[in-house]
Structure 1
């Protein structure tokens, strides 16, 4: 018979609690308190039954949250009383996972943990000649290693990962079953006797003699291009100090100017190359281990040589530290920086399956450092910019995705949000969870579209989600919009169109768990407006359900449509034409084409109107002779930011017309900024001063318009979103100006302010509109 004070309680734990050492933690905690019972995974999270004295059970419940593993994210714990089982089995055990348990009463599936960088304990073993895993490229434990990229299905158990094909040896099995071992129930557990193996082959698949890592490092030192299989796909690598190798990689990859990431062996080398603050150091060495964009150290300084073709003309470098055992081994052999960039041709998705990698990268790489552990899902490297202590996500992928985000308004019905065209992501939402896919790329070719549609199908299956609402951008020609319509036509799902800039701001609100209303400033390249023009310099009074356009840059023609995006000098022509100003050197460079573009714009031929802030930056970059044509998105604006002198504090004035009463939208004459820049260039003003005055003028016009809108609305919170706000110089001037004016300012810290965050915003809007009854 059970003791009088004995109780038994069932607990369900929801959140990111699989693949993070949660069951071993529960086992250790219960055992330490001399409690009996069990813990098991199921598709919705973790199930626990615990029995013992009432005070010990209460203490156990407290410790679940206060001492949970650092990578666990507990969202909710629910409890229910159970009849005591008595002394029949006094142990606490880890039970077999229940695939169907909870399915009837829990539609929310547990999130998959992102892949986690190699922990310090595993690194010590990797470097210890006496350890049985010395120099083993796949060492891992409960606290680190692959998760998302190897998971085939839920619940997260070895049999449902790509490690299923590697039966554990006796030594690994003993560790796996030992509650005192840090590899207790570590699903990717393996060793040289039973786990994956590494090999180095040439582009034809012929083995290269020698120990694979050492031989691979030798090839890099010899100026060769190496394909390296990582956690979520293949990288292409060269010696970062070898100009001929970097230039060859750039030519083979068809990547003209966009900088490569620089792979460094340790934080010390990173510090020698770039100026790092505490936040950058923490990101570089933390469990996510993203690429961190940081300012180069100015000369003179002693640092490893970085070839000019690695990051041409850049004041920043994208630094990446080793995050897998293989990376650590390769870095130790190289003892210096290397390029480590996505394994693909420009604009194609990342190669992650071996056969596809050899087919697509065989003409790019001279050799392949690969292995036989399958990657189930691709995940490119995350990219985060750290500027003046401010974190700006640029690409959310490996290490960050698919960790769920929390919606301010729960999705009562399942939502699929299809995202935009550039920097494509999709988002699935149900209840409080919004699962944002890793970065996929631009939906401009068949390969990326196939990756996008396959990814949606995979996530929908994995999370058992059949969308009732499909949110999409309003642009009719986006492939994501067409996918949404095709998907809705084939199902009973309801389409929910979400304006592009509203989605930007909704993503920012979601990060801050805010519903609005706010004054939203959405500055980007282009997005389809509700009036049929192309928006991009917007002041919206917005909440999650809707918005009103309260201000915008005065629209100008986009001469030649997409050609004007590729050729920023065209935007200089139309902006200067609007103010009657001369085009100076930029006009002379283009001769008769200048007048042709002006005539094209004046006639409205293939020249849709746009209020784009991004195109305004393009125009000033062309006026300064920084960039007449671009080879990747945002290149002109990036080079304009690089040019800006931070010591300059004055800015160009801008006319702002705000009609009395606040019913009509404020009109901001952005062309004034272009004319002022042209006047300064004519007067011989240094380019750094011109670029800084332009940025300062943009920051001031934002603060001015927000101040005017506060007078008519009473709103005191401003949300900043859109790709223009990746600009660190602009943020450094805008945020303080708004805060000095008494505003609370919301910026992105978890998802990109660029189009990579659009799908999250779409999901939040769809959920909020559904909750408000707008979709009945």
Structure 2
């Protein structure tokens, strides 16, 4: 019996060969009708015999083209119209609203790669070969619907043969918008410095209009690389700087010219097999490496592989990616041919190319040829470009595969960009809250206009910025923008924002931003809110981190949200970063945090971690510990400056940051005292766990050797102009600031110690499990108690500072007080640090034995204290519990004196924070009944920490969620801001309150 269906397919279904796929399936199952690209996806009218029609529909959802992503298939029975064939209809450009998703750029598919190197194919060695399964998408599209006239390919009219392929539904290039060949498509270009002198003017541009001319350009580029040169190569979303990864001189030259002192370079290998020669590549890594996204994958180096100095020194991992454009395939192929005679040099004797972003220090990636000639003039020896315009910057994505507990292996994003953005992330809770698409089907004109929620624009954070735009329950998280610390990046942010709004036709009606008063993105949001009268949600940084995890997993909460990172503006104005929040999407309470530590010099303590080490030593009363002697000696004259800053409370913000504690530990062990880039101290601290396996490691796994090696790496200039061993003149100038100022009489009275005055400590955690169920969180955890739910959802501006679950005399605080005797809580007021009863080793130890490790966990255990501070009446800035890292740092210094290897100390330090994560979760479960945990923040990019924390939490009976679709660093913050703002709108918060 013949039946008829109208079918709507949503998702990534345009520009990926979906219509020809539907056409082929219709022919296979004897289905008549039509298929149409509309602004709301792909629409199909299908008429056929019932069973065959069912199989046809199943094919659409179960076996779509590899480059597509089917989000939804909606069916509606309709009258039979009597079609006697199946056809592909033209795109419906006049649809009422545009909700089609835009495909990311896709790596060269296997079919095109075979044709690229097939001498009998007419596209043999054509640098822009593509089909509906691969090639540029997001970087060339200008507007929707996705047709050639709406892309940068509009400048290249199709030749007769390409036009024939473009119009043939059975051809792999049917409606492949970037389809081209030597006769009609883009061309490569070549330009190099005259006489091979990088300071000389650039010569004329050569074009690869024919295969012979193009081949000559690639041959010249390969020879230049083999000779140790640097090539600026234009890719899908911007320029790369390329050199021979096996050539130490070339790597060093690239570092010097780009002013990139220490940060690891990523490399490109020709195949998964080649990648296996230098890294440990498991099945999961191989699948990600060779997938259509082709990100950079961080993988452990093979211990038997040899690496050029300067490639990824002192690190256990190397970032590797495979070619994802035809130009890259050609260059790597020709480079391998040129270097065959020199394979005896390094890296498993395989060709590897460094591929690093083509930009100046801290600026956005360059996308235009003329800009490249100007900005990269004295960096690159030559420029390998092309004349296909790039419409948006698109950095390489960076991922790693981690052990995710019971979930097995999982991909963790470090940077989300090419291959993934702008795919949306659903804001809906599980089960998915989607309207019945069948009800929105019109005849051929697409869906009718639907009611809208607020469209949110979330501005993101300062570092590793992304922004997020929402449309109904879809959140479009931008590609990685970068650190918003200069005008160039800010302009790139504005340009990307305008592009997203125009491309997806979204006019934001609600703004969200970080609480920080000085973030550029937040300033823009506040100014826009005032100018346009748009409601603004100011979202606390760490709540955004946890909300991002909730949004990615479709969870509502509440959860015990553990957010560890380097910095985030707190609800009390301090620098947060070691936070345990009781949170749902709309609101949070600060349940616990790491005790505040002073940062002498503020940002200078980040650039020069020995200052952070001094702040930690001061806070923990460990300045006189013999294990700190080398660090204080290395600090030199700055020690006196730091002391005066802290004592006088000048330019010494307080921080609860776990990231800063990792910096301090790294400096105290001599691992990294003068970082070349942001995050290096903590990265190298993790790397020190297995330092014995690393190239470039200190000759002896000891603190003395670490300090000796570190001193040789203290190069003036640093990861910005202010990081160095601060000069004598600078120290003198800082000391002059304190002249005539009265010194405070004691640490108890100093600004740097005020936060400590409200502490009371515990020698144990007895009695916590017996704590009475209290506050709204217990009721909310049981998903009952409407009053508590209502209380939690009360969300004002700025988020984290308005009316919330007020806790002037909270049940939690009262019960802590009642338990002081029974639970063993002790006073830990200032001047009473000795009550911690942690032994200090005196003098040098005669040696260290592995058996000592049995007691290390207890010695390193981070103390759990109760917070009796009464400086605030809100639950969003005053916690119930404080974590005191003093015992951990004392144990670290004890081990330094005892001669314990640095690798062992680093592991013990990490294990202490793993246990702190578990302890925080256990406290939340004991006190409030919350059994779900969410982990986020840049500290959880530490592989050792996140893998061990996941395993330990699951072993303790917790359900754990981590960032899945976004990085745990600040790249997820804009999405978290959008989740909070969207949830507040869902809860019915009045616009004036947002």
Please give the range of the TM-score, normalised by the shorter of the 2 chains: over 0.9
Partner of 2:649: 604
Q: 1:587 aligns with which of 632, 635, 646?
A: 632
Tell me the distance in 2 between the aligned counterparts of 1:702 and 1:81. Answer: 54
Matched, 1:101 2:95: yes
Partner of 2:581: 540
State the shift of 1:223 in Å: 1.0
Query: Matches of residues 460-609 of structure 1 in structure 2 within 5 Å?
Result: 460-581=501-622, 582=625, 583-609=628-654
State the shift of 1:7 in Å: 4.4
Q: 1:198 aligns with which of 170, 174, 188?
A: 188
Query: Matches of residues 262-301 of structure 1 in structure 2 within 5 Å?
Result: 262-298=267-303, 301=304
State the shift of 1:83 in Å: 4.5
Q: Structure 1 stretch 148-157 or stretch 355-364: which is displaced more?
A: 355-364
**1:707-742 CA deviation, whole Å, 9 max, x = no partner?**
111001111111110000000011122111111110
Q: 1:25 aligns with which of 21, 24, 35?
A: 21
Partner of 2:30: 34
Tell me the distance in 2 between the aligned counterparts of 1:639 and 1:573. Answer: 19
Query: Matches of residues 122-521 of structure 1 in structure 2 within 5 Å?
Result: 122-203=112-193, 204-207=202-205, 211-298=216-303, 301=304, 303=305, 305-335=306-336, 336-388=351-403, 389-409=409-429, 412-521=453-562
Q: 2:861 aligns with which of 653, 666, 681?
A: 653
Query: Matches of residues 737-748 of structure 1 in structure 2 within 5 Å?
Result: 737-748=952-963
Contact preservation (8 Å) 2:598, 2:619: no
State the shift of 1:316 in Å: 1.4
Give the match's secondary structure for 1:142. Answer: coil
**1:111-163 CA deviation, whole Å, 9 max, x = no partner?**
11111111111111111111111111111111111111111111111111111
Asked which structure has the greater CA Rg, the reply is 2
State the shift of 1:494 in Å: 1.1
Contact preservation (8 Å) 2:15, 2:175: no
Q: 1:117 to 1:59 in 2, by over 3 A?
A: same
Contact preservation (8 Å) 1:584, 1:682: no
**1:318-342 CA deviation, whole Å, 9 max, x = no partner?**
1111111111111111221111100
State the shift of 1:675 in Å: 2.1
**1:460-504 CA deviation, whole Å, 9 max, x = no partner?**
011110001111000010001011112222323210111100101
Q: 2:880 aligns with which of 635, 643, 665?
A: 665
Q: Structure 1 stretch 412-421 or stretch 179-188: which is displaced more?
A: 179-188
TM-score when normalising by structure 1: 0.95
Contact preservation (8 Å) 1:16, 1:111: yes
Give the match's secondary structure for 1:520. Answer: strand
Tell me the distance in 2 between the aligned counterparts of 1:428 and 1:247. Answer: 41
**1:208-264 CA deviation, whole Å, 9 max, x = no partner?**
687111110100011111011111111000111222221121111121111111111
TM-score when normalising by structure 2: 0.74
Contact preservation (8 Å) 2:459, 2:521: yes
Contact preservation (8 Å) 1:539, 1:549: yes
Partner of 1:86: 82
Partner of 2:759: none
Give unpaired runs (5+ residues) of structure 1: none
Partner of 1:73: 69
Tell me the distance in 2 between the aligned counterparts of 1:205 and 1:725. Answer: 48
**1:478-532 CA deviation, whole Å, 9 max, x = no partner?**
0010111122223232101111001011111122111111101000001011111
Contact preservation (8 Å) 1:569, 1:619: yes
Contact preservation (8 Å) 2:248, 2:310: yes
Contact preservation (8 Å) 1:619, 1:674: no
Partner of 1:723: 938
Tell me the distance in 1 between the aligned counterparts of 2:186 and 2:307. Answer: 34
Give unpaired runs (5+ residues) of structure 2: 194-201, 207-212, 337-350, 404-408, 434-451, 692-849, 869-874
Tell me the distance in 1 between the aligned counterparts of 2:555 and 2:606. Answer: 34
Contact preservation (8 Å) 2:15, 2:103: yes
Contact preservation (8 Å) 1:224, 1:366: yes
Root mean square deviation, CA, Å:
1.9
Q: Structure 1 stretch 583-592 or stretch 230-239: which is displaced more?
A: 583-592
Partner of 2:674: 629
State the shift of 1:54 in Å: 4.6
State the shift of 1:664 in Å: 4.9
Q: Structure 1 stretch 279-288 or stretch 483-492: which is displaced more?
A: 483-492
Tell me the distance in 1 between the aligned counterparts of 2:85 and 2:376. Answer: 53
Partner of 2:7: 11
Q: Structure 1 stretch 205-214 or stretch 701-710: which is displaced more?
A: 205-214
